[in-house]
Copies of this chain bind each other. A is one copy, B any other.
């Protein structure tokens, strides 16, 4: 593990252990430098990492402070961890409706940057939170990358399988969120009425080398889901 990763992690642990809240002050840069016995830039690298993920903020001339912790029960759109760790205090289960190899539609081809002759896995699942229906998920996996998938894996955690077994390093992702009225079929799945609100999130997941390998479309139950997004300024870059 790299030094700056270790330091970032230690600071995260410190916040967790001491139960620090929004605005609480962390040790100064100099203190961290001598505590970890590294150069200033290395500590700064760790801090920048934490800052860009919304855990802390640094105030010039004043100090380093804890940023409000993400509230429980929200889906954090900026994290790449699958729901299981995101909503880890909840009991999450899945039911596989369909798992098969298909020829990608044009939409899927475009999102996964592949041709029609490249087969993909199609997976459709219902997902439950504390036993209550939570969302309908349809995923397309590039079969060149996710070479094998079965029902049992899909029933458990695809995310864990990808990261732990296939050693795929998911590096970044894009989400597109829209809201509409549910059609009859989706309403039935979600145990709602036709015309009730439905939250549709399309997501594309990329590996570290920039290759997209998973395109998914989720329809959330509007009463069971809420989302959390953080932003950081880059006003200076815009002018």
Contacts and interface: CB of A to CB of B under 8 A. Distances in A.
A57 interface: yes
Contact of A172 (B49, B67, B177): B67
A237 B12 contact: yes
B237 A180 contact: no
A175 B231 contact: yes
B59 A208 contact: yes
Interface string A75-86: 001111100010
A163 interface: yes
Interface in A160-208: 163, 169-181, 196-199, 206, 208
Count copies of this chain in the complex: 2
A105 interface: no
A197 B171 contact: no
Interface of A: 1-2, 5, 8-9, 12, 22-23, 41, 48-50, 52-54, 57, 59-60, 62, 65, 67-68, 71, 74, 77-81, 85, 113, 163, 169-181, 196-199, 206, 208-210, 222-223, 225-239
